[in-house]
Amino acid sequence: MNADPDCIFCRIVAGEIPSFKLLENDRVLSFMDINPANEGHCLVIPKTHVPNLFEADDESLAAVATACRRVADAVRRTLDPPGISIAQANGPAAGQSVLHLHFHVIPRRADDDLLFNWELQPGDLDAIGRLAERIRANLE
């Protein structure tokens, strides 16, 4: 399994740093976030070190997505929050603080003041359509 000795998440996977594990299998580890945005905030990571979404293989992403759903469902049944956000960032400009692919499972409530939501504002449909064509051209 690929690991980075300087990566805190790889060290958690290796058991060098303790964690509050929730779910673990051969591909995925889920554990509680020790700097929670809200009560019940947890993380889901692939055990293999990949810095971001773009470098992950499809099988790892599928395993992480399945684990996210299972963990989110367990959080929902445990805490009964009015909502749950699944958040994932790629690169420091997007807020990624640990350069190991990870997904946040965050229980939400309407008044939690987390800055994940944005105000809906109608876009220019012609410009959106042109951009969609450009993005489709880059799909592999």
Catalytic amino acids?
A: 102
The residue type found at 126 is: D
Q: Are strands 28-32 and 83-87 parallel, antiparallel or unpaired?
A: unpaired
| Phi/psi of residue 24, nearest 5 degrees | -150, 135
Q: Report the distance separating Cα 107 and Cα 75, nearest Å.
A: 7
Residue 84: strand pairing partners:
107
Cα separation, 137 vs 2, whole angstroms? 32
